[in-house]
Structure 1
Amino acid sequence: MTKRKIPFAWEIVVWLWLAYFMNQADRQLYSVVQKQVQDALGLSDIQTGLVNTVLIASMAVMMPIAGFVGDRFSRRRIILWSLLAWSVATMLTGFTNGLVSLIVVRSLATAVGEAFFLPAATALIGQYHVKTRGQALAIYQTAQYFGAVSCGWVGGWIAGNYGWKHSFWIFGGAGVVLVALMWSRLKDAPKTAVAVVREPISAVLGALFRTPTALVLTLALGCSTFVNMGCLAWMPTYLQLEPFSLTPAKAGLFSMLYYQIFSFVGVLLGGRVSDKIVGNRPSFRIELSGLALLLCVPTLYLMGATHSLWLVYATLGAFGFFRGLYDSNIYASLFDVTSPRHHSSATGMMAGFSFGVGSLAPLILGVIKQSYALNIGISMLGIVYVFGSLALLVTARAFFPSDYARNRQPLPSSDNNQ
């Protein structure tokens, strides 16, 4: 009896999960070794935060362009060349010797490579999965948690034992190897899976701006990304300060471990539950997202207010779980109200805006740390989530029903993800 092979639609999720894993690991790597880089290159707190800010701001500029490209050209090629580009840039980061070279290689070159991946990869999964879209995108989303945890542990250990430069060389080299493995297996979706219409950019933008739900989802993701970027950028440093005083390896690991483990649980639960409920209550994805962001607020306040290391870990876990519930429905909600031929463009616009807003967080927290204290900045991040949560909960009632009805299309007669 022959073993049943994994359906190709799910194999695609596996390969893109691995690529997204490297995407998140490489992006988080700088934050893990940030203190060592700062000491080695003699950077101030503001200069240190500026490196991440330029990276994220560059991605914000490139994401919308990447989204439009992803709706017009081979998504397979975009994904592979993007992975190769940011992996090489990560390796080159290990050769930098000052602020300017660090920004050019780490911020600009890495950003251009990473920016083209997300819209194309997310849209490709959306093509292969219709009935299981929420679950497939939730599984794909878990890669960011595993990537950050692995990077926090392995990257911190490498930096502590061999130096921060080796961390960039090893992680970047692993990405190059993954490109070689994916080259023959990754395939574009069949042409029949989505209508191929190369509309002018003005028409695509017009369609998106006439969809209020898509605009509010974009605003909420901006709020979420701002908080996430701030936490990821400064949490390893926060745990190395008094009263915690952890080593670089332990700070890199524990700043990510509890947060990412519970995020993993939250994102899988959110994706699974949403797929079952949206058939009877289409607005459930947005309602769950709004509630999840609201529940994150007290965890962020306690995270910065406590002097207990274990309470920091507990609030990181709770924050991660609620954040995972939110993450599980980001793009599935967007695809509910946008045309399939606009999915990559919509993803690029949404991600571009969110990275633009999020790019300010590392720099702002650097300013707060230098002028006041880092724990104050972490506690204040919850205020941003309040705005995002309220916007989503209002939209679920006010705009989503009409946007969803206008975009609703019958499912294909044969679903290629089964």
Structure 2
Amino acid sequence: MAPAKVIAIDAPLAHKAGPGSYRWWLIAMLWCVCFCNYADRQAISSIFPLLRSDLSLSDLQLGIIASSFMWMYAVAGPVAGWLSDRVSPRSVILGALIFWSAVTAGTAVSHSFGTMVFFRTLGGLGEAFYFPAAMALIGLYHSTATRSRAMALHQSSVYAGTIGGGALSAVIAQSHGWRTSFVVFGVAGVLLGVVLLLFLRRPPARALKTETTTDQNFFHGVRDALRSGRVIALIVVFIGANFVAVVFLTWLPTYLYTKFHLSLAHAGFSSTAYLQIASVLGVLLGGVLADKFAMRRVGGRQMIQAFGLLMGVPFIFLTGWSLTMAGLIAGMIGFGFFKGMYDANIWASLYDVIPVERRGVAAGTMNSLGWLGGGFAPILIATAAGRFGMSACLSATSAIYLCLGLVLLLLVRNMRRSEDVLPA
């Protein structure tokens, strides 16, 4: 007899839960986990100048350190997503949190380029398991009516974590050394995992259905997820958007430190705060608008994403070419706001075009390919900046946003012509 397969069902939990129910407390708890996820990965970018001098590293080696995290994150993504379709998302989330937090703390013992790459690679492995499981768990409790808002609220933790990781690591490193910042972030994550063991629930039995099936093959799951041209289009856009985001996350702190002669702490804060705070506002507005548009017309979420990408183009260009801090800040705020409108619907848009039982593997594959593309960004920009300058390289990424916005508009046109989008 074939083994049992667990398949998530949207409607029961999403429709029976009231506004003040556990489904919103779930978002609050996952918000804290995602904050740690992004704080831990961003902490290293703000201390590049210290790593360069302490470990005698070149810009290319710093780029490889940043990329090693993303490459492992990408490799592990599909497996993480496939596993989250078959194992309790709660177990995956908590196990991943404690593992990557321990690895973050262990990074403090690095004394060479090789050991730094080793720990960053392990960090990418641990963090890869969070997002597919978290999206699957949110999908159990939130249907089409609230999905964009729920995922947008969760997405706001990405920006808060980026600010926290970038700013706090620089402040701690400036006063107590860069090793201390990794210990602080790692210990905090482990403690959060212990607390959530008590409060993060397993989905109740009515949220799951057992089917008898022989097809639990990992490669079949990935194949099924990639059969749809719409899924492929959303993945391509995510790869490009992630590439641009990684360029700014990785090199903006060093850019401010060298071009505008800011202190390490000031550069770490300024490179994240303006952009990410604006993204919080954009992601919340994008979530509300997308839920309304999705209920009224096919392709509503994807239209909001396209709007965000196209409106972000001039602000990205301004960020790279500005000669003053005032112009740079204006560019970062505009870029961050419209980036947030795109980010609010990354996963909700995917869920519109993928069967519920393939959500985990689809999210994992999309996350994997997106970070695989992003993984080349630090190295490519480090290489190109040596020839064209960092300002030109930052501004040039605006062309990527322009192309991606046009791809999404074509996708919306295709969806409205056929109108065979999957139900909630």
**TM-score after normalising by structure 1:** 0.93
Paired residue total: 403
User: 367-376 or 292-301: which moved more?
Assistant: 367-376
Aligned-residue offset at 1:88: 0.7
CA separation of 1:203/1:196 partners in 2, compared to 1, >3 Å: closer, same or farther?
farther
Question: Which of residues 155, 160, 163 is equivalent to 2:169?
Answer: 155
Q: Retained in 1: the 8 A contact 2:102–2:186?
A: yes
Q: Report how far residue 195 of structure 1 moved.
A: 4.1
Q: 2:422 aligns with which of 374, 384, 407?
A: 407
Among candidates 230, 237, 241, match of residue 213 of structure 1: 230
1:278 aligned counterpart, secondary structure:
helix
Distance 1:406 1:394, change over 3 A: closer
Out of 128, 132, 139, the position equivalent to 1:126 is 139
Secondary structure class of the residue paired with 1:10: helix
Matched, 1:301 2:314: no
Matching residue within 161, 164, 187 for 1:173 = 187
Once residues 392 and 194 of structure 1 are traced to their aligned partners in structure 2, the CA distance between those partners, rounded to angstroms, is 33
Q: How far did residue 5 of structure 1 move? A: 11
3-state SS of the aligned residue for 1:42?
Answer: coil
2:381 is aligned, of 362, 365, 379, to 365
For the pair 1:71 / 2:88, whether they are aligned, the reply is no
Residue 205 of structure 1, CA deviation: 3.0
Give the Cα separation in 2 of the matches to 1:313 and 1:125.
34
User: Shift of residue 300 of structure 1?
Assistant: 1.4
Map of 1:275-314 to 2, 5 A cutoff?
Answer: 275-314=291-330
8 A Cα contact 1:195 1:341, kept in partner: no
| Aligned residue in 2 for 1:397 | 413
Q: Quick check: 1:78–1:120 contact (8 Å CA) kept in 2? A: yes
Q: CA distance change for structure 1 residues 50 and 76 in 2, over 3 Å: closer, same or farther? A: same
The equivalences for 1:13-412 within 5 A come to 13-106=27-120, 108-130=121-143, 131-196=145-210, 199-242=216-259, 244-399=260-415, 402=418, 405=420, 407-408=422-423
1:210-238 Cα offsets, whole Å, 9 max, x none, are 32111111110000000001100000000
1 CA distance for matches of 2:91 and 2:225? 26
Query: Structure 2: 5+ residue runs without aligned partners?
Result: 1-17
Q: Distance in 2 between matches of 1:295 and 1:226?
A: 18
Q: For residues 401 and 167 of structure 1, do their structure 2 counterparts lie closer, same or farther at Cα, with a shift above 3 Å needed?
A: farther
Q: Which moved more, 1:259-268 or 1:390-399?
A: 390-399
Question: What is the CA distance between 1:291 and its match in structure 2?
Answer: 1.9
Give me the whole-angstrom Cα distance separating, in 2, the residues matched to 1:239 and 1:195: 52
In 2 relative to 1, CA 5–380 (structure 1 residues): closer, same or farther, beyond 3 Å? closer
1:304-338, CA deviations, whole angstroms, 9 ceiling, x for partnerless residues?
Answer: 11111111111000000000000011111111111
C-alpha distance in 1 between matches for 2:105 and 2:400? 34
Residue pair 2:289, 2:304 contacting (<8 A) in 1 also: no
Matches of 1:101 and 1:210 in 2, distance apart? 40
Q: Call closer, same or farther: CA 1:225–1:196 in 2, change over 3 Å.
A: farther
Report deviation, 1:208: 2.1
CA distance in 2, matches of 1:377, 1:195: 50
Structure 1 residue 6 displacement after superposition = 4.7
Q: CA deviation at 1:389?
A: 1.2
- Which deviates more, 252-261 or 180-189? 180-189
Contact 1:195-1:340 at 8 Å conserved across structures: no
Q: CA deviation at 1:398?
A: 1.4
Deviation at 1:196, TM superposition (A): 4.7
Instruction: Quote the offset at 1:273 in angstroms.
Output: 1.5
Unaligned runs of 5+ in 1: 410-418
- Quote how far apart the aligned CAs of 1:399 are: 4.0
CA distance in 2, matches of 1:232, 1:74: 32
Cα distance in structure 2, aligned partners of 1:205 and 1:154? 38
Query: Hey, what's the Cα distance between the residues in 2 that align with 1:400 and 1:53?
Result: 38
Q: Deviation at 1:295?
A: 1.6
| Equivalent pair of 2:298/2:421 in contact (CA under 8 Å) | no
Q: Which moved more, 1:284-293 or 1:392-401?
A: 392-401
> Which deviates further from its counterpart, 84-93 or 288-297?
288-297
RMSD: 1.6
TM-score for the superposition, normalised by structure 2: 0.92
Say if 1:138 and 1:329, in contact at 8 Å, map to a contact too.
yes
For the Cα contact (< 8 Å) 2:44–2:166, is it kept in 1?
no
Q: Distance in 2 between matches of 1:20 and 1:196?
A: 30
Deviation readout 1:320-368 (Å, 9 max, x if unpaired): 0000000011111111111111111110011001001010101111112
Deviation at 1:173, TM superposition (A): 0.8
CA–CA distance in structure 1, aligned partners of residues 305 and 391 of structure 2: 26
1:239–1:200: structure 2 CA closer, same or farther, 3 Å change rule?
same
* CA–CA distance in structure 2, aligned partners of residues 406 and 284 of structure 1: 11
Distance 1:185-1:315 versus aligned 2 partners, 3 A rule: same
